[in-house]
Amino acid sequence: MALHRIDLLENGGEYVPGQKGGPTVSEAIAQFLDGCRDPKRNLAPSTISSYENTLGHLASSSFAHGPLDKVDLVLLQKYALTRAIAPSTWRKELETLRAFFAWCVDADWIRKNPAKKVRMPQSEELQTLPFEPDEVRKLIAAADDIFSDNPGETPYVRARARALVLVLLYSGLRVSDVTVLRRSSLDLKTRHLTLRKIKKTGVRIQVQLHPDAIRALEALPVIRSAEYYFWSGEGDAITCTKNLRRTIYRLGQIAGVHAHPHRFRDTFAVELLTQGVDIRTVQLLLGHKSLKTTERHYAHFIAAHQARLDAATATLSFSAKPGRPLLMKPVQNRRRHA
């Protein structure tokens, strides 16, 4: 596309957005992602992976091989109907689509951003979804039933699946951080697992692992690289993360449980909070930069939090004589807002 524009300029022509010779949707996606992967952009691997995932779905749509400038609101609304996902997930995908089409506008490939007109869905009030105890047992048991297309690799696949489930449950780590978990990060004497910098927030965390998780990690054979537990150290770590996600989904299918990687993190946090652990401690274990983030997702699981709410509403009595004026006098109100 860039060469086409240069040819036009050298021959005295003028490039017109959307004219013949413009990119298809899939071609534009490929160029956008190439730019995102440029080290100079310094984008986080998790951000790039999110872009690749969302735009990968768009690239496989029915109109992906058509002209980019033909994509409009109606087409995107039809595409949205094919994405049978939760409102919160669609919100994130729509944010990526808006960023992609804004980039296309900046590249002079289209005049307007069609994704800006697509309405943002209302996100669910409660997005936290911890596993029930019975679901946890089923997922752990499912690790013994998972298999590989290559029968010789099945023992390793099962050992890795078991270690993955137990580490996620007992560490609260995101699957992207588990991917690059180094063997040197685990102190077998203290059972401390230390990450100097987690991917999403850059925060250092240290968590004491349960013996079951440690035994599962120690049972993992060394594959090509002695540095990591789950990653061979070859190729792209993002690809390994995707494979681990697929393992979780397969375990969910075997166990008959809706298994999403973040549900393990939710289970870790909620289990601690319901047992009376201070939310500030949970924030540090999760690696959240702000306590507000932890409170937004998990405060309603704290018994003490609900007790405070109940105590507050218990003081209300609209039939009793008020101890102070319920309304300010108009003059006082004007002074206050003057």
pLDDT digits (tens, 9 = 90+) for 136-167: 999 999 999 999 888 889 999 999 999 999 99
Residues 6+ apart with CB under 8 A from 55: 29, 32, 33, 96, 97, 100
Residue identified by tokens 């699957």 is 175
Residues 6+ apart with CB under 8 A from 289: 201, 203
- Predicted local distance difference test score (pLDDT) of residue 305: 56
DSSP state, residue 130: P
pLDDT at 326 over 90: no
* Phi, psi dihedral angles at 223 (to 5 degrees): -115, 105
Q: What is the pLDDT of residues 43-57, one digit of tens each?
A: 888 788 889 999 999
Q: What is the pLDDT of residues 260-309, one digit of tens each?
A: 899 999 999 988 988 888 889 999 899 888 888 888 888 877 765 566 66
- Predicted local distance difference test score (pLDDT) of residue 306: 61
For the chain, percent of residues with pLDDT exceeding 90: 46
Q: Is the dihedral of CA 248, 207, 183, 240 positive or negative?
A: positive
pLDDT, greater one: 88 or 246: 246
- Predicted local distance difference test score (pLDDT) of residue 123: 54
Q: Which class would CATH give 2-117? A: mainly alpha
For the chain, percent of residues with pLDDT exceeding 70: 83
Tokens linked to 312:
């507050």
207 membership: H or E segment, kind and range = strand 205-208
Closest CA to 251 of 161, 121, 160: 161
Q: Kindly indicate the confidence band of residue 15, based on its pLDDT and cuts at 50, 70 and 90.
A: very low
Closest CA to 268 of 211, 214, 208, 215: 208
DSSP state, residue 132: P
Query: Chain-wide mean pLDDT for the chain?
Result: 83
Closest CA to 141 of 257, 263, 245: 257
The CA-atom distances, in angstroms, between 141 and each of 138, 146, 257, 266 are 5, 10, 12, 20
pLDDT, greater one: 47 or 171: 171
Residue identified by tokens 């022509």 is 13
Q: What is the pLDDT of residues 199-215, one digit of tens each?
A: 777 888 889 999 999 99
Query: What CATH number does the domain located at 133-301 have?
Result: 1.10.443.10
- Predicted local distance difference test score (pLDDT) of residue 66: 92
Give CA–CA dist 69/116, Å, rounded.
15
Q: What is the pLDDT of residues 93-117, one digit of tens each?
A: 999 999 999 999 999 999 999 999 8
Give CA–CA dist 164/144, Å, rounded.
13
Q: What is the pLDDT of residues 66-101, one digit of tens each?
A: 999 999 998 998 888 887 777 778 888 999 999 999
pLDDT at 3 over 50: no
Strand partners, 33: none
The residues spanned by each domain of the chain are 2-117, 133-301
pLDDT at 8 over 60: no
Give CA–CA dist 29/250, Å, rounded.
29
Task: Tell me the whole-structure pTM to 2 decimals.
Answer: 0.59
- Predicted local distance difference test score (pLDDT) of residue 244: 94
